Amino acid sequence: MSNILNRLAKWTAKTNPERVKAILEELRATMSANMQAVLPDLIAVETRTKQVLNQRGTPTIDNPNYLAFARELWRLKRKQFAGDALTRETAILLQKWVGRGLSQPVLEAIRSQVFTVSPPTP
């Protein structure tokens, strides 16, 4: 029972609104600088992805899911994935989104045209 009480006390302390506010105020300048640094690249990726979707005649209602795929792939590239590792991770992402009902040829076009990631070799 004391384990439960300890956990509850720690959770209560770290979710104290004044404490959270102080932490966020301290980090806000750095967080803002980080956002300003990466936002232009993310916007460019989203714009190129939308161009691919428009070229393919993809229904607008599907755009958020394709953009989510593009953002995940962008995140992988930002994590310094490259070469075979990036190719493998991209193939896994592609299958995940195909499983969610997206079109494999459209996902492959985003992979190739927006991110210039080659398809995996068998």
Closest by CA to 91, choosing from 101, 76, 113, is 76
Token digits of residue 80: 């310094």
The pLDDT of residue 39 is 95
Domain for residue 32, yes or no? Answer: yes
Structural domain boundaries, residue 61: 2-114
Q: Could you read off the pLDDT of 43-73 as tens digits, one per residue?
A: 999 999 999 999 999 999 999 999 999 999 9
Tell me whether residue 109 is in a domain.
Answer: yes
Number of folded domains that form the chain: 1
Which pLDDT score is estimated for 121?
82
What CATH number corresponds to the domain at position 61? 1.20.58
Domain annotation covers residue 121: no
Block means of pLDDT (10 residues each) for the chain, length 122 residues? 86 91 94 95 97 96 97 92 88 96 96 90 78
Query: In this structure, are residues 117 and 90 in contact, taking their beta carbons and an 8 Å threshold?
Result: yes
In a domain, 47, yes or no: yes
Q: Which of 37, 95, 36, 14 is nearest to 111 (CA)?
A: 95
Torsional class of 80: left (φ above 0), alpha (ψ -120 to 50), beta (otherwise): left
**What predicted TM-score, i.e. pTM, was given to this entire model?**
0.81
Q: Is residue 120 part of a domain?
A: no
Residue 1 is predicted with a pLDDT of: 64
In a domain, 36, yes or no: yes
Cα 93 to chain centroid, rounded: 11
